[in-house]
Structure 1
């Protein structure tokens, strides 16, 4: 039985995972709402709508930013969080997308090292998870496809604790030992 995938709505011959889309392109599929953030921050935070929630219409995935007093910074944080949430929740075709394959090949030279704040991070996370899923959560096989070591794959997934948890849950379902 193969891993479940959802139609990602991209042009043939490949499907583009929403987490790999540039933020501007992804926002065309999203609804953006603003509101007042709660918590400390003084009068500016309590009277101005700085909280930003970005909802991906096709999937219902949400990204939220409210930690800054700047709506612009919160918007960027919300989009990045949405892309990470999409990377965690949807499985795509991994390296089938030429843009993603090119990105991974360029990043593999330095072991897929990328800051979790960088615009490429959600695409790297999505591709890593997709390749693990395509290889039935065998990290060694996924690492070969990605052109990095198995320990580097685990380190990439540990950068986002929910991804590491997902990896170990999927491995446990298949009778594989959890990875630290």
Structure 2
């Protein structure tokens, strides 16, 4: 069973994070600079951080920061897996008829992205082999990666380092 930081429940993830509250300038009305509504999370094991400050509510900014942190963890942290390993039940529930059904703003997206990138790393960044292992089409896998530009950029960077042509 793979254990990726992007898969952790909120309490466990926050337990591994330092949270700072800060003031930020910009639009948001007269109360924006009077209270510390910006939230900065730093995942201590990896030193990866994420911030949210666009809302006037600290609670809303905290939720946005958690989602952004999970996305960054999904893109930057790799967990070892095998192409022979069966995809997670979450992945299986999101693949229907070879298509990956998830909105990039859904809470499941970072976990699914982490799993897809872990399988790509196991396949030495070969999209076709990865798609076969994950029971989806290569086109769907590439479209899924494009939903998070940092993931797609990393995918093409890894391919370039291996002498493979970038996908568009």
With structure 2 as the length reference, what TM-score do the two structures score?
0.92
Deviation at 1:42, TM superposition (A): 2.0
Q: Which residue of 2 aligns with 1:171?
A: 159
With structure 1 as the length reference, what TM-score do the two structures score?
0.86
Contact kept? 2:5, 2:73, Cα under 8 Å: yes
Q: Which residue of 2 aligns with 1:54?
A: 41
In structure 2, the residue corresponding to 1:41 is in which secondary structure? coil
Aligned residue runs from structure 1 range 19-98, under 5 A: 19-94=6-81
Q: Which residue of 2 aligns with 1:160?
A: 148
Contact kept? 1:112, 1:124, Cα under 8 Å: no
Which residue, 107, 115, 120 being the options, matches 2:108? 120
Structure 2, unaligned runs of 5 or more? none
Q: Distance in 2 between matches of 1:125 and 1:18?
A: 12
Structure 1, unaligned runs of 5 or more? 1-13
| Residues 41 and 95 (structure 1), Cα distance of their counterparts in 2 relative to 1, 3 Å cut | farther
Q: Which residue of 1 aligns with 2:95?
A: 108
Q: Distance in 2 between matches of 1:104 and 1:76?
A: 23
Deviation at 1:62, TM superposition (A): 0.5
More helix by share: 1
Could you report, residue by residue, the CA deviation over 1:40-99 in whole angstroms, capped at 9, with x for unpaired residues? Answer: 212211111110011111111101110111111100000000000001111113479x9x
Could you report, residue by residue, the CA deviation over 1:139-170 in whole angstroms, capped at 9, with x for unpaired residues? Answer: 00000111100011101110011111111111
Q: Which residue of 2 aligns with 1:9?
A: none
Deviation at 1:25, TM superposition (A): 2.0
Q: Distance in 2 between matches of 1:153 and 1:94?
A: 17
Q: Which residue of 2 aligns with 1:139?
A: 127
User: Any runs of at least 4 consecutive aligned residues in structure 1 with deviations exceeding 6 A, and if so which?
Assistant: none
In structure 1, the residue corresponding to 2:100 is in which secondary structure? coil
Q: Distance in 1 between matches of 2:82 and 2:130?
A: 11
Contact kept? 1:95, 1:127, Cα under 8 Å: no
| Residues 45 and 95 (structure 1), Cα distance of their counterparts in 2 relative to 1, 3 Å cut | farther
Q: How many residues align?
A: 165
